[in-house]
Amino acid sequence: MDSDLLPRLLYILLLLAALGGWMLTEFRARLGQTLRMLMAWGMILLGLVAGYGLWSDVRPQLLSVQQVQGERIEVTRDGDGHFHLTLNISGTPVRFMVDTGASNVVLSNRDAGRLGVDASRLAFVGRAATANGIIRTARVMLSDVQLGDFRDARLPAYVTDGDMDVSLLGMDYLRLYRIEIDGNRMILTRRG
């Protein structure tokens, strides 16, 4: 236990006791109404805390917009400053961060598991240089990859044994498109 924790806890308890005592004396004639008001404010505070906790899950769906317009796919820049695309792989939607500096498509362990890839059975014999250092990789083959109306039967990808929060969409796949970035929009046009 931290040596400052006990005095801080005692201070907070004394502050709450003083505030509670004042409220009891001030509102004793309207105690029922006061308790209802406190419950309402408590529920509002709880809702704000829950909303803050869920924001990281909800934010990508609210901010990042991916639209298919004929031969073009347009996506807006996400709040984290990156572009994200959702590809359907064998019917499973997988959200990727677009990384033109990555040579390959790299799956996070979580996304690989969602696609039925058992990482414990992979041979991590490859190596890749990343911003976080050298990582080991295992090659997999993805089937039935779809972005908008465009479908590819097979796509090579790599799974890492390191921790990654998001899968990366590298040039192995992006080379199939002409890429244009206009401010906060990225426009992909499928090459012939």
Q: What is the pLDDT along the chain (192 residues), one digit of tens a residue?
A: 567 788 888 888 898 888 888 877 877 778 788 778 878 888 888 888 888 777 666 655 555 578 888 788 999 988 888 999 999 999 999 999 999 988 999 999 899 999 999 888 888 898 887 777 788 899 999 999 999 889 999 999 999 887 788 899 999 999 999 999 999 999 999 987
Identify whether residues 110 and 148 lie together within a single domain: yes
Identify whether residues 100 and 164 lie together within a single domain: yes
Kindly provide the b/e burial profile for residues 69-103, where b requires at least 16 CB atoms within 10 angstroms of the residue's own CB: eeeebbbebbeeeebbbebebeeeebbbbbbeebe
Structural domains of the chain, count: 2
The helix/strand count (H/E) of the chain reads as 4, 11
Rounded to two decimals, the pTM is: 0.66
SS3 label, residue 92: strand
Instruction: Tell which of 62, 83, 104 closes a domain.
Output: 62
- Domain harbouring 152, CATH code: 2.40.70.10
Residue from 132, 125, 64, 53 nearest 93 by CA: 64
Residue 177 Cα to chain centre, angstroms: 25
- Domain around 97: 64-190
Identify whether residues 177 and 83 lie together within a single domain: yes
pLDDT at 1: 53
Identify whether residues 51 and 137 lie together within a single domain: no
Q: What span, in angstroms and rounded, lies between the C-alpha atoms of 163 and 160?
A: 8
Spatial neighbors of 23 by CB under 8 A, at least 6 apart, are 34
Q: Which helix (H) or strand (E) holds 41?
A: helix 31-63
pLDDT at 27: 77
pLDDT at 60: 53
Instruction: Tell which of 14, 31, 62 closes a domain.
Output: 62
Q: What share of the chain is helix, strand, coil (3-state, %, to 5)?
A: 40, 35, 25
pLDDT at 63: 53
How many other C-beta atoms are found inside a 10 Å radius of the C-beta of residue 152?
Answer: 15
Identify whether residues 165 and 77 lie together within a single domain: yes
Identify whether residues 23 and 77 lie together within a single domain: no
Q: Hey, what's the torsion of the CAs at 27, 30, 35, 40, to 10 degrees?
A: -100
Identify whether residues 54 and 135 lie together within a single domain: no
